Structure 1
Amino acid sequence: MQPTNQTAIARFFLVGLTDDPEFQPLIFLLFMSIYLITILGNLLIILAVSSDTHLHTPMYFFLSNLSLIDICTSTTTIPKVLVNIQAQDHSISFAGCLAQVCFILIFGGLESCLLTAMAYDRYIAICHPLRYTAIMHPHLCVLIVIMSLLIITMNALLHSLMLLRLSFCTDLKIPHFFCELVQVMNMACSDTSINSILVYVATSVFAGIPLSGIILSYAQIVSSILRIPTMKGRYKAFSTCGSHLSVVSLFYGTAFGLYMSSNMADSATKNVVASMMYVVVPQMLNPFIYSLRNREIKEALRHLLFGKPSALTVSAFGFQE
């Protein structure tokens, strides 16, 4: 294969999905359904939180931002899949591929940061309830989101710009349905050692540190809950963490599954399934996890959809009364 500079590249080809015409309508319907459910579900969460003053707390502020990020993540990948299937053309321009890499890194990193902030919020609410309003000030919550966005965006731009220095081979078939950073690097014919080092460093910082923070927060939470004398009190405290724990498990579980699949399996089909479980499925399921497991969200959605007044009173600490 002859290397070529990125300026001469017209397009990459996303070949992660089947070329069999018989399956194209089914795949199109599947992705269209997932996308519509994702948009509708996350939009309902955002509207429910914004319309119900009882949910104007730090936890639900972070949740509404998480829903917005889930919408953005799905919009980065799925519409291009639908367009390619409809046009029967699996190509994507170099600029479009670079944009997908950048936005996936931004939204994935932001989701990790928000999940960590939500874990910290639960830690303060359960372990230091009397200081909750003083610590989790609205200005601090907004600052966390803004600083996370700035740092993650700089990281994503660095990785994207580092791709510009690479020379690519003539065979530019990416075995995924979207442009994933490592897969694009694998298309290069030039040395990618610096890019690989940056990937490992960024993964350690933007995945390892948030995950460590979540684990540490829940270690303190469990320790505090076990000191509560009554079972009712323990259940009441732990119930405020159930939805968040489910989302964290889904996000990090699918992320680890993706990279283990990429490292251990050569099957393109397995890689595609792993990628879907990371950038498509969690974004669709997150609204259901919160609406099914969280009484406040269910009441807010009922009020939003049917106009019934909420029967809940939510304290400043996020506990149900």
Structure 2
Amino acid sequence: MSVASSEVHAAANASGPNAETLHKLSALLTLALLIAIFAFGNAAFLSVNNGLTVLLQTSVIGILGIGMTMVIITGGIDLSVGSVLALSGTVTGMLVKAGMPVPAGMAAGIAVGALCGLANGLVITKMRITSFVATLGMMLIARGTALQLTGAAPISQLGEAFGRLGNGALFRMVEKQPNGLSKVIFPGIPYPAIVLLIVAVAAAYLLHRRALGRHIYATGSNEEASRLSGVNVDRTKIAAYVLSGALAGLAGNILMSRLVTAQPNEGVMYELDAIASAVIGGASLMGGVGTISGTMIGAFIIGVLRNGLNMAGVSAFIQQIIIGFVVILAVFVDQLRSRR
């Protein structure tokens, strides 16, 4: 990478490490405060089983949020991830139902997600259509395709192997009792949480240690300066959308595996949770700023908030209102930071 490109990358972090650290600390404080409030209201909130439930619920949001973060850093947005999740999971379910081995079917589902991301990237870079409009179109296309392929009906009876990724756990300990029944000693670490950790580490490595990551930051910071310094801006944007689509496909596999059913109606409004996770975690909608660790904190804030409100008996409609206020507040904080 040239000296000019390095300067662009430095400009991408113009908010400074202190500002970034302060934002993460405030997000962590918010997370700790939410946990304390919900734990005070319900002692069961801090139970091992509920903690694992939060991990499961957050895994899908977190994976979508990681892909969204890469897109947002480039200065774009991806409104299609919820629909791509549904399409990818539906394709996987159809292939497994037709007799394809589960790993191959899931790989095909991820490939479908990547192809949707590629289409988004090409429309945005070659047709010069804004990311909002391009991904809005893909959101409708992917959802419509999933519904058309299945006739809007779920695909069930996919077998035990299909549900292993979403419902399996590492280090699960089960004891056989004298009456013949099984007793769970330790429920284990859910596979979706392990997948989330692997994806987060890989994405953080990509953004901070590889040339593509530096180009993603540079493109979002100053697209024209990046182009003049030798960065292939179009290729960088396409790569970000392909990664976002592939991760949406992976999230679709995990969600459908948890249900052991391919549901073409799943993933509605998930794109908003993904955007909220990234923005709450410090990603700027202006581009050039964002971290995977911040997005993980944001995802857990959303996950803990939803879980705590569910345990408190708050209706799903009120939850939507609260999450909406959280998104507005996060964007407002982002705007204040951008003005400074």
Same fold (TM over 0.5): no
Higher RCO structure (Cα 8 Å, ≥6 apart): 2
Larger radius of gyration: 1
Please give the TM-score of this superposition, normalised by the length of structure 2: 0.30
